Amino acid sequence: MKAMIRGNESIAYAFKLARVQVVPAYPITPSTLVPEKISEFIAKGEMKAEFVPVESEHSAISAAIGASAKGVRVGTATASQGLALMHEVLFIASGMRLPIVMGIGNRALSAPINIWCDHQDMMSQRDAGWLQFYGENNQEGLDLGIMAFKIAEDNRVMLPAMVGLDAFVLTHTVEPVEMPEQSEVDEFLGEFKPNYVTLDTNKPATLGSFGFPEHYMEFKFGQWVAMERAKKVIDEVFEEFEKKFGRKYRKVNPEFVEDADIVIVTMGSMSGTAREFVKRMREKGKKVGLVKITTFRPFPKEELREVLKGAKVVAVMERNISFGFGGAVYAELGAAFANLSNRPKILDFIVGLGGRDITFKTFESVLELAEKAMNEDVDEVNWIDVNKEAVYRAEGLQ
């Protein structure tokens, strides 16, 4: 059945179809519609869940941990400052190995305050031990939202998961989405039975205890092992999903890469524009390819090495910046190739921060520099579509 829904609703429907039992959430632009929709589902009797209208995002994720530790399926949603406020507690959710799923409306961080799209919020949480998925459209938001539970709850993984959808471009945009039947999702996910130690009065356990140096590192290594094992589990779940629902997902999605000299790497909604741009370049005879990353944590370095091995120049386009080095995807992709003797030239392009539009002109600027890099050295980190002269003047550099 086709439904016309906004990106936020795709997360809310994923929670409903997954029969999430507790949703603690706090409103924040642009993800507010998720708790609104959950509240509506519950009010109409369409969803049997406890909605906890907490007084902050910090409490939202804390309550999520409490509920998950009690042994129910838990979903929440936030964005930007809200995710940043959760920062401390995100590490505790993953350290306690609780399979919470969180929808993120990917939005810029202050200052200046800005409500529009970039990936800085989720990228700033990349070390928090959560699985990270980025959707290209609302269908992906719904599908990844459902699959996130199956991956997170797999006993080889037991890690929380984030599903990011670009602010406004997806969260507030109505798109046609293939809505699975409840019975199909029930079959796919199975009944939720916590396969971990819970707060059970018949079997008292101490959760969240104090770890001394002689134990702490083993807990962390356990998280590392789980993240590594998640790579295979994600593939299995994607495959099972495709068999059941007919929609194919991959951690890394290559298009036109076989003979490509230049490959553009993207995440999120800009991938749609990128695909159209690459097609047009192909029509002009330019050997350009595209790789969309869906799974950022665990970082799919094996797949990226494989699909990018033939490229001469890899142009990473990303909506985040780590000041003092470059974008996070560029940093990790570079590291993925660092020990290989045969490696492409990898360039970073910082684009679309704080909701700046990413248009064909953006891609043209990127391609121009990438083509130049085929024959000569260019800057490694390049800011595109930014008024550099104004900044230089303001910084007294003219």
Partner 1 sequence: MSANYENEEFFAPGHGMCAGCAAPIIVKWVLKLAGPNTIVANATGCLEVATTAYPRTSWRVPWLHVAFENAAAAASGVEAALRAKGEKANVIVFGGDGGTVDIGFQALSGMVERGHNILYVLYDNEAYMNTGIQRSGATPWGAWTTTSKVGSANPIGKLRPKKPVAMIIAAHNAPYVATANPAIFQDFKKKVQKALSVEGPRFLHVLSSCTTGWRHDPSKTIEILRLAADTGLFPLYEIENGDIENMRITYKPKKFKPVEEYLKMQGRFRHLLKNPEYVKKLQEDVNAWWDKYGHHYIK
Residues near partner 1, by CB under 8 A:
21-22, 24, 48-50, 52-56, 58-60, 62-72, 74, 88-89, 92, 198-201, 204-212, 215
Closest distance between partner 1 and the C-beta of residue 39, in Å? 14
- CA nearest neighbour of 263 among 210, 303, 304, 229: 304
**What residue has token string 């490694």?**
380
Instruction: Write the CA distances from 12 to 9, 34, 51, 122, integer angstroms.
Output: 5, 5, 12, 19
52 forms bridges with which residues in the sheet? 24
Closest distance between partner 1 and the C-beta of residue 59, in Å? 4
Closest distance between partner 1 and the C-beta of residue 391, in Å? 38
Closest distance between partner 1 and the C-beta of residue 100, in Å? 10
DSSP class per residue in 131-151:
EEEE-SSHHHHHHHHHHHHHH
Closest distance between partner 1 and the C-beta of residue 395, in Å? 38
Closer CB to partner 1, 67 or 265, in the complex: 67
Closer CB to partner 1, 192 or 383, in the complex: 192
Side by side, the strands of the sheet bearing 288-293 are 252-255, 288-293, 262-266, 313-318, 345-350, 381-383
- Quick check: 113 and 155 in contact, CB under 8 A? no
- CA nearest neighbour of 335 among 366, 377, 372, 304: 304
Distance CA 249, CA 240 (A): 10
Closer CB to partner 1, 66 or 272, in the complex: 66
Distance CA 40, CA 75 (A): 16
Closer CB to partner 1, 6 or 97, in the complex: 97
**What residue has token string 């660092």?**
338
Closer CB to partner 1, 50 or 380, in the complex: 50
Closer CB to partner 1, 179 or 207, in the complex: 207
Closest distance between partner 1 and the C-beta of residue 315, in Å? 41
**What residue has token string 């992906």?**
140
Closer CB to partner 1, 77 or 264, in the complex: 77
Closest distance between partner 1 and the C-beta of residue 51, in Å? 8
Q: How many CB atoms are closer than 10 A to CB 76?
A: 32
Q: In sequence order, what are the residues at sequence separation of 6 or more whose Cβ sits closer than 8 angstroms to the Cβ of residue 382?
A: 347, 348, 349, 350, 366, 369
Closest distance between partner 1 and the C-beta of residue 193, in Å? 12
- Quick check: 117 and 168 in contact, CB under 8 A? yes
Closest distance between partner 1 and the C-beta of residue 140, in Å? 28
Closest distance between partner 1 and the C-beta of residue 20, in Å? 9
Closer CB to partner 1, 216 or 360, in the complex: 216
Closer CB to partner 1, 176 or 211, in the complex: 211
- Quick check: 370 and 345 in contact, CB under 8 A? no
Distance CA 197, CA 161 (A): 19
Closer CB to partner 1, 8 or 68, in the complex: 68
Distance CA 121, CA 105 (A): 9
Long-range contacts for 232-238 (Cβ within 8 Å, ≥24 apart)? 232/156, 233/151, 233/154, 233/156, 233/157, 234/131, 234/151, 234/295, 234/298, 237/147, 237/150, 237/151, 237/154, 238/147
